[in-house]
Amino acid sequence: MAGFGEHAKIRLLLVHGFTGSPVSMRPLGELLAARGFSVEIVRLPGHGTHYRDMQKTRYADWRAEVERALDALSRDDEPVVLVGFSMGGTLVLDVASSGHSGIAGVVSINAQILGRGGLIVKLAPFLEKIVPLAPASAAGLVENDIAKPGGDEKAYGWVPSAAGNSYVRELPRIREQIRSLSVPLLVAYSPQDHSVPPANSQAILEFAGSTDKTELKLERSYHVAPLDYDLPLLEERVAEFSERVAKRT
Protein backbone atom coordinates (compact mmCIF):
# COMPACT_ATOMS: atom_id res chain seq x y z
CA MET A 1 0.00 0.00 0.00
CA ALA A 2 1.69 3.16 -1.22
CA GLY A 3 1.85 6.10 1.14
CA PHE A 4 0.83 9.71 0.68
CA GLY A 5 1.32 13.09 2.27
CA GLU A 6 3.83 13.77 5.03
CA HIS A 7 4.05 10.07 6.01
CA ALA A 8 4.65 8.68 2.53
CA LYS A 9 8.38 8.20 3.05
CA ILE A 10 7.93 6.19 6.27
CA ARG A 11 7.81 2.49 5.40
CA LEU A 12 6.11 -0.03 7.70
CA LEU A 13 6.74 -3.75 7.25
CA LEU A 14 4.13 -5.91 9.04
CA VAL A 15 4.80 -9.58 9.83
CA HIS A 16 2.18 -12.11 10.94
CA GLY A 17 2.56 -15.04 13.31
CA PHE A 18 3.20 -18.79 13.33
CA THR A 19 0.64 -20.78 11.25
CA GLY A 20 -1.17 -17.52 10.53
CA SER A 21 -1.38 -15.25 7.50
CA PRO A 22 -1.56 -11.55 6.56
CA VAL A 23 -5.23 -11.70 7.66
CA SER A 24 -4.13 -11.00 11.24
CA MET A 25 -2.25 -7.83 10.25
CA ARG A 26 -4.47 -6.46 7.50
CA PRO A 27 -6.78 -4.25 9.65
CA LEU A 28 -3.79 -2.62 11.33
CA GLY A 29 -2.04 -2.21 7.98
CA GLU A 30 -5.09 -0.60 6.40
CA LEU A 31 -5.51 1.86 9.26
CA LEU A 32 -1.86 2.87 9.10
CA ALA A 33 -2.04 3.17 5.31
CA ALA A 34 -5.05 5.49 5.73
CA ARG A 35 -2.77 7.78 7.75
CA GLY A 36 -0.41 7.97 4.76
CA PHE A 37 2.28 5.48 5.76
CA SER A 38 3.68 3.16 3.09
CA VAL A 39 2.70 -0.32 4.31
CA GLU A 40 3.69 -3.82 3.24
CA ILE A 41 2.38 -6.99 4.88
CA VAL A 42 4.64 -9.96 4.29
CA ARG A 43 3.30 -13.51 3.82
CA LEU A 44 5.74 -16.00 5.29
CA PRO A 45 6.56 -19.08 3.15
CA GLY A 46 4.18 -21.97 3.75
CA HIS A 47 1.61 -19.76 5.46
CA GLY A 48 -1.81 -18.60 4.32
CA THR A 49 -2.43 -21.57 2.02
CA HIS A 50 -2.50 -25.10 3.46
CA TYR A 51 -0.64 -26.54 6.43
CA ARG A 52 1.03 -29.11 4.17
CA ASP A 53 2.82 -26.25 2.42
CA MET A 54 4.26 -25.25 5.78
CA GLN A 55 5.76 -28.71 6.25
CA LYS A 56 8.37 -27.86 3.62
CA THR A 57 9.51 -24.69 5.36
CA ARG A 58 11.65 -23.80 8.35
CA TYR A 59 12.45 -20.75 10.46
CA ALA A 60 15.33 -19.84 8.15
CA ASP A 61 12.87 -19.55 5.25
CA TRP A 62 10.59 -17.21 7.21
CA ARG A 63 13.49 -15.04 8.35
CA ALA A 64 14.81 -14.83 4.80
CA GLU A 65 11.44 -13.57 3.57
CA VAL A 66 11.43 -10.78 6.16
CA GLU A 67 14.97 -9.83 5.12
CA ARG A 68 13.96 -9.85 1.44
CA ALA A 69 11.02 -7.54 2.10
CA LEU A 70 13.17 -5.27 4.26
CA ASP A 71 15.85 -5.00 1.59
CA ALA A 72 13.21 -4.10 -1.01
CA LEU A 73 11.68 -1.38 1.20
CA SER A 74 14.99 0.18 2.23
CA ARG A 75 16.55 0.38 -1.24
CA ASP A 76 16.27 4.17 -1.39
CA ASP A 77 17.38 4.74 2.22
CA GLU A 78 13.94 5.73 3.49
CA PRO A 79 13.28 4.73 7.14
CA VAL A 80 11.62 1.34 7.75
CA VAL A 81 9.77 0.35 10.92
CA LEU A 82 9.33 -3.39 11.50
CA VAL A 83 6.05 -4.44 13.14
CA GLY A 84 5.64 -8.10 14.10
CA PHE A 85 2.88 -10.04 15.82
CA SER A 86 3.58 -13.27 17.76
CA MET A 87 6.29 -15.17 15.86
CA GLY A 88 6.37 -12.18 13.53
CA GLY A 89 7.51 -10.16 16.54
CA THR A 90 10.26 -12.68 17.20
CA LEU A 91 11.32 -12.48 13.56
CA VAL A 92 11.56 -8.69 13.48
CA LEU A 93 13.54 -8.67 16.73
CA ASP A 94 15.89 -11.25 15.24
CA VAL A 95 16.41 -9.34 12.00
CA ALA A 96 16.73 -5.93 13.67
CA SER A 97 19.34 -7.14 16.17
CA SER A 98 21.50 -8.86 13.56
CA GLY A 99 23.04 -5.73 12.12
CA HIS A 100 20.69 -4.84 9.26
CA SER A 101 20.83 -1.20 8.28
CA GLY A 102 17.87 0.97 7.35
CA ILE A 103 15.72 0.01 10.35
CA ALA A 104 14.31 2.99 12.21
CA GLY A 105 12.50 1.04 14.92
CA VAL A 106 10.84 -2.22 15.94
CA VAL A 107 7.37 -3.00 17.29
CA SER A 108 6.75 -6.43 18.82
CA ILE A 109 3.19 -7.49 19.64
CA ASN A 110 2.79 -10.53 21.93
CA ALA A 111 6.08 -11.94 20.67
CA GLN A 112 7.65 -15.14 21.97
CA ILE A 113 11.22 -15.09 23.20
CA LEU A 114 11.18 -17.64 26.04
CA GLY A 115 11.09 -21.40 25.67
CA ARG A 116 8.07 -23.48 26.61
CA GLY A 117 8.09 -26.08 29.35
CA GLY A 118 6.40 -29.47 29.55
CA LEU A 119 7.09 -33.03 28.46
CA ILE A 120 5.84 -32.58 24.88
CA VAL A 121 8.30 -29.75 24.30
CA LYS A 122 11.19 -31.80 25.68
CA LEU A 123 10.27 -34.75 23.48
CA ALA A 124 9.61 -32.60 20.40
CA PRO A 125 12.91 -33.38 18.58
CA PHE A 126 12.07 -37.08 18.76
CA LEU A 127 8.34 -36.77 18.13
CA GLU A 128 8.79 -34.79 14.91
CA LYS A 129 10.30 -37.89 13.31
CA ILE A 130 7.23 -40.00 13.99
CA VAL A 131 4.45 -37.39 14.29
CA PRO A 132 4.87 -34.93 11.39
CA LEU A 133 1.67 -33.06 12.24
CA ALA A 134 0.14 -32.13 15.59
CA PRO A 135 -3.06 -30.31 16.55
CA ALA A 136 -2.41 -26.65 17.27
CA SER A 137 -3.69 -27.16 20.82
CA ALA A 138 -0.94 -29.72 21.47
CA ALA A 139 1.61 -27.03 20.59
CA GLY A 140 0.08 -24.69 23.17
CA LEU A 141 -1.75 -22.57 20.62
CA VAL A 142 -5.27 -21.37 21.40
CA GLU A 143 -7.46 -21.14 18.32
CA ASN A 144 -8.63 -17.56 17.69
CA ASP A 145 -7.41 -16.25 21.04
CA ILE A 146 -9.45 -13.06 20.58
CA ALA A 147 -11.67 -11.36 23.19
CA LYS A 148 -13.79 -9.61 20.57
CA PRO A 149 -16.58 -11.91 19.31
CA GLY A 150 -16.39 -13.09 15.71
CA GLY A 151 -12.65 -12.65 15.21
CA ASP A 152 -10.85 -15.20 13.04
CA GLU A 153 -7.16 -15.01 12.17
CA LYS A 154 -7.45 -17.94 9.71
CA ALA A 155 -4.55 -19.84 11.30
CA TYR A 156 -3.89 -23.51 10.60
CA GLY A 157 -5.48 -26.02 12.93
CA TRP A 158 -2.51 -28.35 12.47
CA VAL A 159 1.15 -27.60 13.17
CA PRO A 160 3.96 -29.20 11.13
CA SER A 161 6.21 -30.54 13.88
CA ALA A 162 9.59 -30.05 12.22
CA ALA A 163 8.72 -26.50 11.15
CA GLY A 164 7.61 -25.62 14.68
CA ASN A 165 10.70 -27.14 16.23
CA SER A 166 12.93 -25.15 13.87
CA TYR A 167 11.41 -22.02 15.43
CA VAL A 168 11.76 -23.15 19.03
CA ARG A 169 15.42 -24.06 18.50
CA GLU A 170 16.22 -20.47 17.51
CA LEU A 171 14.81 -18.86 20.65
CA PRO A 172 17.95 -19.16 22.86
CA ARG A 173 20.05 -17.54 20.13
CA ILE A 174 17.55 -14.72 19.63
CA ARG A 175 17.24 -14.07 23.37
CA GLU A 176 20.98 -13.52 23.54
CA GLN A 177 21.19 -11.62 20.26
CA ILE A 178 18.63 -8.95 21.17
CA ARG A 179 21.07 -7.66 23.75
CA SER A 180 22.69 -6.07 20.68
CA LEU A 181 19.48 -4.35 19.56
CA SER A 182 20.21 -0.64 19.19
CA VAL A 183 17.11 0.82 17.50
CA PRO A 184 14.04 2.14 19.36
CA LEU A 185 11.65 -0.57 20.53
CA LEU A 186 7.92 -0.62 21.29
CA VAL A 187 6.79 -3.76 23.13
CA ALA A 188 3.01 -4.25 23.08
CA TYR A 189 1.47 -7.16 24.94
CA SER A 190 -1.80 -8.51 26.31
CA PRO A 191 -1.84 -9.39 30.02
CA GLN A 192 -4.66 -11.85 29.16
CA ASP A 193 -2.75 -13.66 26.41
CA HIS A 194 -3.59 -17.39 26.48
CA SER A 195 -1.06 -18.46 23.83
CA VAL A 196 2.16 -16.57 24.57
CA PRO A 197 2.61 -15.72 28.26
CA PRO A 198 3.14 -11.99 28.97
CA ALA A 199 6.45 -12.94 30.63
CA ASN A 200 7.86 -13.11 27.10
CA SER A 201 7.30 -9.40 26.53
CA GLN A 202 8.71 -8.58 29.95
CA ALA A 203 11.82 -10.56 29.00
CA ILE A 204 12.12 -8.63 25.73
CA LEU A 205 12.01 -5.35 27.63
CA GLU A 206 14.65 -6.67 30.02
CA PHE A 207 17.03 -8.25 27.50
CA ALA A 208 16.84 -5.82 24.57
CA GLY A 209 19.88 -3.58 24.38
CA SER A 210 18.05 -0.53 23.05
CA THR A 211 18.14 2.53 25.28
CA ASP A 212 14.78 3.62 23.83
CA LYS A 213 12.22 1.07 25.03
CA THR A 214 8.48 1.65 25.42
CA GLU A 215 5.94 -0.70 27.02
CA LEU A 216 2.32 -0.83 25.89
CA LYS A 217 -0.24 -2.97 27.71
CA LEU A 218 -3.23 -4.13 25.67
CA GLU A 219 -5.61 -4.61 28.56
CA ARG A 220 -8.74 -5.43 26.54
CA SER A 221 -7.25 -7.98 24.14
CA TYR A 222 -6.11 -11.59 24.09
CA HIS A 223 -3.26 -12.96 21.96
CA VAL A 224 -4.40 -11.83 18.51
CA ALA A 225 -4.41 -8.19 19.53
CA PRO A 226 -4.35 -6.79 15.95
CA LEU A 227 -7.85 -8.28 15.49
CA ASP A 228 -9.10 -7.41 18.96
CA TYR A 229 -10.56 -4.54 20.98
CA ASP A 230 -7.20 -2.75 21.27
CA LEU A 231 -6.71 -2.34 17.52
CA PRO A 232 -7.42 1.43 17.66
CA LEU A 233 -4.89 1.81 20.48
CA LEU A 234 -2.32 -0.19 18.53
CA GLU A 235 -2.88 1.94 15.46
CA GLU A 236 -2.44 5.16 17.41
CA ARG A 237 0.69 4.08 19.27
CA VAL A 238 2.37 2.43 16.28
CA ALA A 239 1.73 5.58 14.24
CA GLU A 240 3.15 7.83 16.98
CA PHE A 241 6.17 5.57 17.42
CA SER A 242 6.84 5.41 13.67
CA GLU A 243 6.62 9.19 13.28
CA ARG A 244 9.02 9.72 16.16
CA VAL A 245 11.69 7.19 15.22
CA ALA A 246 11.62 8.16 11.54
CA LYS A 247 12.67 11.69 12.49
CA ARG A 248 15.78 10.30 14.15
CA THR A 249 17.15 8.70 10.98
Please say whether the beta carbons of 81 and 239 come within 8 A. no
Catalytic residue among 21, 24, 86, 201: 86
194 has catalytic annotation: no
Catalytic residue among 223, 228, 230, 242: 223
C-alpha angle with apex 170: 65 to 205, nearest 5 degrees?
95
Please say whether the beta carbons of 20 and 90 come within 8 A. no
223 has catalytic annotation: yes
Catalytic residue among 193, 195, 210, 242: 193
201 has catalytic annotation: no
**Catalytic residue positions?**
86, 193, 223
